[in-house]
Amino acid sequence: MATEIAASPPPGAGDATSARTDAPAPPLRRIWNHYAVVKVRKALVVVFVVANVTFFLGRAMPGDPIDVMAGRLTQNGMTMEEARAVAMNSLAYDVDAPLHQQWWDFLVGLVTFDMGNTINRPGVSVMDAIGAYLPWTLFSIGVGTVIAVALGLALGMVMAYRRNQFLDHVLSVAASVLGAVPNYLIAMVLVVGGGMYLGWFNPIELRGTVSPGVQAGFNLEFIGDAFFHASLPILTYVLAIIGTWMLVMKASTTEVLSEDYVTVARARGLRDRRIAVAYVGRNAVLPLVAQIAISFGTLVGGAIFVEQVLVYKGVGGLLLDAVNYRDYPLLQGLLIIITSCVVAANLVADMLYSRLDPRIRD
Amino acid sequence: MTDHPAAPAAGKAPAGGPAEGALLSVRGVDVGYRTGRRTRVTAVRDVSFDLYPGQSMALVGESGCGKTTLGLGLLRLLPRTGVVSSGEILFRRKDGRLVDVRTLAREDLRRFRWNEAAMVFQGAMNAFNPVLRIEDHFLDTFRAHEGGRRRPRKEILEQSADLLTTVRLDPARVLGSFPHELSGGMRQRALIALALALKPQLLILDEPTTALDILTQRSIVERLAELRDELRFAMVFITHDLGLAAELADRVGTMYAGRMIETGTTRDIFYRARHPYTSALINSVPPVAGDLTVPQSLPGGPPSLTALPPGCSFAPRCAHAVDACSHTRPTLDVLRTRTEGLSHAAACLRTHELLEGATRD
């Protein structure tokens, strides 16, 4: 810092030495790209590792698809031998293929994006089966997350601004209760309470993903119907995670409110709204960005129960079937794709973070 | 001084109001913090002083004596639990109107801040929003105080560049930088430039140079002194650094346990301190001028604000305390009358007896 004094004659000449010293103009952009590339590479490694874990974990479960199906057939009076023969004929699974052979096929499939056919639904490819169910899950969870996060952040901020006042106490209790109740229980309460006792809606009509006869397409009728059927799952997801978001945002905002730059902003006579948005809000949300992706991932896991309770034809039921009937390819495909979605959400959060916080850009 | 009716109407001179020509008249101000549902601690008690245009006053004292609380209280910037619980903070605005900062309505207070009185905070490390560029801080500040036509960005930035130049920063580099890209000294200068943006009449500086290395301190202090002579703003600066106070201030106020216990010109305080606490404070650092003596430390610390001694707050630590000190509270008595708030006054029962002992020439 000695230069600050020594070089005082030409104003500012010796100053500013420490600012952006190592930043020649064009590479800034390349560095940013590089940062993104590194993140994507890491994400791919994660997906690959998870994919291999699913492969071995599935096969580590007791019994294989033939055993499971044969087991069910013997309950109808077949002998074990007969049942096994029938199962082997009707299922597309070769029990005698050695594990390393199966693994090699799996790896090739992974690289070529061909996960093969399902075992229990002969002729249906894994990709088709997933493609028919996954969009509904992603849709309901995506909308639910967006609503819950937006509302939770807003309410959390209100709580922090009014901390220790009546509104804060009420919202804090509500948020803690919501955060503690498991999501499938919320779904049950919604159906039983709102649908049956209060009669606000007919839970039978709400089942499924679209009403019969409605054609898929980019039109108001279809979109409206999709939202109608997804309303209960979305509401469930919102209620399930909004409490946590409120409390986390309250804590984060409270911390930011005590920062010097907020006091200085008040001293500078800035308008309250400007301080709340650009000084408090933006800094309070920063550390939470990464959690949005985590929250999304947790919800995908929780969807299995919620979709069962609400009879919503998402990926939850499919996953349950795949586990129950040891449908290895389907199980693998599902887990890999769900993992990829969560990893992708994390990646987006990471990128967003680097855009929002100038301190981690380099 | 505490018997004024609360909330005098702005514009009218209240009973015993401001001294003629004063920029800031603080009258019997108490500042308290809420510590529990029904408990409160008074951090600043019955402080009164007049500050005249262009004057600079240093507030000195140990940590926890209420200096920062008083500074924040003057702009009503206290944290949520703090409040100016009594007294008046009368301020002569640029348009000549006299207002009591304590009773300003929300929007008036917002317009008052920075435009009439700005503040440079302790350790400007965190004074800037980390996600905004320095230029955005200038834009925000100007736009918050300019009604009507929205001035073009370019015009504001040119003005900001001029301000940065006055504190010897290179605007081309600093304006587009984020706060974390600047050094501590640069940030402190940028904050001073920002504080001068609206040409305030009063600048409150809360330990403006702590946490900076000694050379950076030097250059900032020098520049501050030049700017004050150039722009004629009044300053209240809070500091532990007695050398800085001696150099930059026209007058000094010593605070102890929330009270102003001695005020006077810088010469009064440094050469003819009349309160034993002020003397002890001065003797605890090497002299600013003259022969090097052995610094004497002052044992103990300020009393807890919740359990102040009934008499003089300093009595328990005072080498000259007599019985009377522990049950009679001394008042701030004027020892030598001068105009423009420069009178020498001290709050000590034994001021006259101790005259020789506390003198240091």
For residue range B93-145, list pLDDT tens digits in order. 888 888 888 888 888 889 889 988 999 887 656 889 999 999 999 999 998 88
What whole-number distance in Å separates Cα of residue A222 and Cα of residue A154? Answer: 31
B100: three-class secondary structure by DSSP: strand
Q: What percent of chain A has pLDDT over 90?
A: 18
What whole-number distance in Å separates Cα of residue B331 and Cα of residue B315? Answer: 14
Q: Is the pLDDT of residue A50 over 50?
A: yes
Query: Do residues B205 and A40 make contact, with C-beta atoms less than 8 angstroms apart?
Result: no
Q: Sign of the CA dihedral B181, B185, B187, B189?
A: negative
Q: Is the pLDDT of residue B249 over 70?
A: yes
Q: Is residue A46 part of a domain?
A: no
For residue range A107-129, list pLDDT tens digits in order. 888 888 777 777 777 778 888 88
Residue A103 class from Cβ within 10 Å (0-12 exposed, 13-18 middle, 19+ buried)?
middle
What whole-number distance in Å separates Cα of residue A154 and Cα of residue A163? Answer: 14
Q: DSSP letter string over A321-334?
A: HHHHTT-HHHHHHH
* Mutation site, A3, A4, A28, A286, interface B, largest B CB count within 10 A: A4
Q: What average pLDDT score do residues A227-254 get? A: 90
pLDDT of res. A11: 42
Q: Is A261 on the interface with B (CB under 8 A)?
A: yes
Q: What average pLDDT score do residues A276-298 get? A: 85
Q: Is residue A255 part of a domain?
A: yes
pLDDT of res. A254: 93
A172: three-class secondary structure by DSSP: helix
Q: Is B174 on the interface with A (CB under 8 A)?
A: yes
Residue B96 class from Cβ within 10 Å (0-12 exposed, 13-18 middle, 19+ buried)?
exposed
Q: A229-249 burial, b for 16+ CB within 10 Å, e for fewer?
A: bbbbbbbbbbbbbbbbbbbbb
Neighbour count for residue B68 (Cβ, 10 Å): 20
Q: Is A357 on the interface with B (CB under 8 A)?
A: yes
Task: State whether B119 and A260 contact (CB < 8 Å).
Answer: no
What are the residue ranges of helices labelled H in A14-75? 27-60, 65-74
For residue range A225-234, list pLDDT tens digits in order. 888 888 888 9
Write out the residue range of the structural domain in which residue A143 sits.
133-360
- Å from B360 to nearest chain A CA? 34
Q: Of all residues in chain B, what percent are helix, strand and coil, respectively (each to 5)?
A: 30, 20, 45
Q: Is A267 on the interface with B (CB under 8 A)?
A: yes
A196: three-class secondary structure by DSSP: helix
What order do you get walking across the sheet with B82-92 strand by strand? B40-51, B24-34, B82-92, B98-100
Residue position matching structure tokens 């209420």: B66
Higher pLDDT, A81 or A362: A81
Here the CATH number for the domain that contains residue A208 is 1.10.3720.10
Q: Is the pLDDT of residue B3 over 80?
A: no
Determine the angle formed by the axes of helices A328-356 and A289-310, rounding to 10 degrees: 150
Q: Is B76 on the interface with A (CB under 8 A)?
A: no
- Helix (H) or strand (E) holding B88, with range, is strand B82-92
Q: Is B236 on the interface with A (CB under 8 A)?
A: no
Q: Which residues of A touch B174 (CB under 8 A)?
A: 16, 19
Q: Is residue A286 part of a domain?
A: yes
Q: What average pLDDT score do residues B12-26 get? A: 66
For residue range A305-360, list pLDDT tens digits in order. 888 888 888 888 888 888 888 888 888 888 888 888 888 888 888 888 878 888 87
Q: Is residue A78 part of a domain?
A: no
pLDDT of res. A194: 79
What are the residue ranges of helices labelled H in A268-327? 272-274, 282-285, 289-310, 315-324
Q: Sign of the CA dihedral A94, A100, A106, A108?
A: negative
Q: Which of B266, B281, B345, B283 is CA-nearest to residue B314?
A: B281
Distances (CA, A) of A9 to A4, B159, B168: 10, 21, 9
Q: Which residue of A has its CA nearest to B133?
A: A358
Task: State whether A19 and B215 contact (CB < 8 Å).
Answer: no
Q: Which amino acid is at A233?
A: P
pLDDT band at A172 (very low <50, low <70, confident <90, very high): very high
pLDDT of res. B11: 34
Higher pLDDT, B343 or A174: A174
Residue position matching structure tokens 């605890």: B284
What whole-number distance in Å separates Cα of residue A120 and Cα of residue A49? Answer: 26
pLDDT band at B7 (very low <50, low <70, confident <90, very high): very low
Q: Is residue A98 part of a domain?
A: no
Task: State whether A268 and B132 contact (CB < 8 Å).
Answer: no
Q: Is B115 on the interface with A (CB under 8 A)?
A: yes
Neighbour count for residue B246 (Cβ, 10 Å): 19
What whole-number distance in Å separates Cα of residue B254 and Cα of residue B271? Answer: 14
Q: Is the pLDDT of residue B30 over 60?
A: yes
Give the CA count within 13 Å in the CB-facing half-sphere of B349. 17
Query: Do residues B163 and B199 make contact, with C-beta atoms less than 8 angstroms apart?
Result: no
For residue range A82-97, list pLDDT tens digits in order. 777 777 777 767 767 7
Give the CA count within 13 Å in the CB-facing half-sphere of B247. 17
pLDDT of res. B290: 62
pLDDT of res. A349: 82
Q: Which residue of A has its CA nearest to B139?
A: A270
Q: Token pair of B30, please?
A: 């108490």
What whole-number distance in Å separates Cα of residue B55 and Cα of residue B342? Answer: 10
Q: Is residue A68 part of a domain?
A: no
Phi, psi of B175 (to 5 degrees): -55, -40
For residue range B221-231, list pLDDT tens digits in order. 888 888 888 88
Higher pLDDT, B361 or B312: B312
Q: Is residue A295 part of a domain?
A: yes
**Whole-angstrom distance between the N-terminal and C-terminal Cα of chain B?**
34
Q: Which residues of A touch B194 (CB under 8 A)?
A: 268
pLDDT band at A29 (very low <50, low <70, confident <90, very high): low
Task: State whether B177 and A19 contact (CB < 8 Å).
Answer: yes
What whole-number distance in Å separates Cα of residue A209 and Cα of residue A225? Answer: 8
Q: What is the CA radius of gyration of chain A?
A: 27
**B95 pairs with which residues across the strands?**
none
Q: Is B182 on the interface with A (CB under 8 A)?
A: yes
For residue range A134-154, list pLDDT tens digits in order. 888 888 888 998 999 999 999
Q: Token pair of B251, please?
A: 């007058």
Q: Is residue A148 part of a domain?
A: yes
In chain A, how many domains are there? 1
Neighbour count for residue A315 (Cβ, 10 Å): 26
Query: Do residues B216 and A32 make contact, with C-beta atoms less than 8 angstroms apart?
Result: no
Phi, psi of B172 (to 5 degrees): -60, -35
Q: Which residues of A touch B127 (CB under 8 A)?
A: 260-261, 264
Question: What length is written for chain B?
Answer: 361
